[in-house]
Structure 1
């Protein structure tokens, strides 16, 4: 039997139909595998501005800069323009110190182009983050200033992202606080910030917001006290890596480090205020171990460019200096615990210890205050009460003053 014959015109129609079918199949396959942008968030601050693009799959990108006007262009491959990307311009505020406008468009069939028009020269740093906690894949765009070096935190952030977080020499300490006629410097560390909200209360209260308010009030009280001065690791809604928080305290030669939190626990009935110091051997309770683990994950949630090694491993971490510092931390913690206990019930009647990364300055007495459990509905209500926030700050301040009345040591500064 001979094969059927087709006239040339009919053959061309069949070939076109087959090509159209294959193209549609390839497009379906591409659509099924393409990354989808599910959220865009922008965190402007005087320190740096961060943009995160959250997606269903890891993103591939290219970047370049243009002048007149200054623009940062980011081509995101394997992505289709959607409403979330189109709406990016609505997230740019006039107060953003670095970004003037933002727009997104479909540059090629499989590439979205994001254009950031800038107010000044910036040092852009882009990196991706794997899924963690409730976040999917993220592309992070950090915009650092090129002409502002007033805040020591700026250089610390840059060094951290480059893996060059150098540590100063260990400080020695005189006999007591009366030996040096200078202000006592206290570094206050409101936990979390920016992309990292911290714990979330039953009604949606964010830990990062509450602790920033308490930190600001505590700073006001310290600055009003003769012979004392307070600094903050963050005074904005901005993400600061844990290592940078510690390094800033050491760079400013702080005498104390107080980290402020309002954490959550697995059981919503957990309640009370707690005070923690660093541990040499391990956590003093299951709750302490759990809280340290959640706090130490802040860098994963907030997002840093590299998994920086612990800078204090270069020293013998738990040498005589560290041991003496922990002893002083426990004394400070005991004083603070005694004062906050008159404001709120205590979760435990003693200062607890665990491996909190933010408490690892080898030569600065450091404590972490869990002001209340934001996961407890009753305590969440207290945490958003301005009176409670002010009273908590006053109680911590009273504990600090009590610590120095005992003749606590201060650091010798070069």
Structure 2
């Protein structure tokens, strides 16, 4: 008779410390087998040198080594569809419960429903916990239980409801001896899952007190290294959101804190309105007749539009997997408004390139610049890519770094004239919306 075990399934929570689901799994008095599944449903859509896959793999190897050295245990790295993986696991082990943390994206919700159903037919419980946000689902809603679709009232309600008890640390360290004592669990190399090591590195995050303190005054200037680079780490859970909110509160920086609330705002929008992944939140915006010129889209992707700040942003993205947030707004607006290219094209390109890609924030922000989303910029707000340089990169430090050829004869002329593009955009939007 096999001894009963529980399984903890790592997903967007790649850390051993302050992990809510892992803590509860370890507290159940049944040995815990930790697993991570390289999901073929996700991997097959990615470039074979994807930096995020390299980052995930390296993070998991670090976690495995720590478990082997300190706890005589490790983690099983598995490859396949989650259903196929669990079909194999139930043959090998006497599983009582599978524990994980909530995931809110449409694919993840469908996947978890399928796994829960599969396990329940075998009398195995499936339990998940809130871990990657402070508030989720219906926890911040209006008095009539409708979701907020405007950020400011959502943010105010979030702050009203917030208590320091929401930042309770889940002390997993004291329980890690409850892991299954087995040091030869399956491991996988990058090549085992069909990937090669990326040349790009996911940047470490910076939440030093001086960065948070100066965040509001410096965050809009892309030449300054003044942003936290937290995106990928919150996306993959290599850091706890509770820890980051504590740091923001310690420095009493409202702007930094409110950026964290923006993240949760977009996550609850995606939860309540999953159709916004590929449909405009405001349906009439799907009537816009996009030009969708493929050669112009290619020029935008390659940073060859003839507008230095736009091109600098796209080249930074292509070379590093990161783009400063102020520049993201400009390049997004330029694609939708100047070139009249569907926001979904840009969203898909960012999804492939950004290290910090998160579906909720990416979709939310792209719909924001297109004017089609919740709490969006009005459609007649069209950033001027030339005056944006004067505002945010007056000394051309950022432009010179990423677009050093902008004064060369080989630099392309502007792909479209600003005044003409603005008028064309206003006409296209008016025709669709009236």
TM range (shorter): under 0.3
TM-score of the two chains, using structure 2 as the length reference: 0.21
Specify the structure having the higher radius of gyration (Cα): 1
* Bigger helix fraction: 2
* Bigger strand fraction: 1
TM-score of the two chains, using structure 1 as the length reference: 0.22
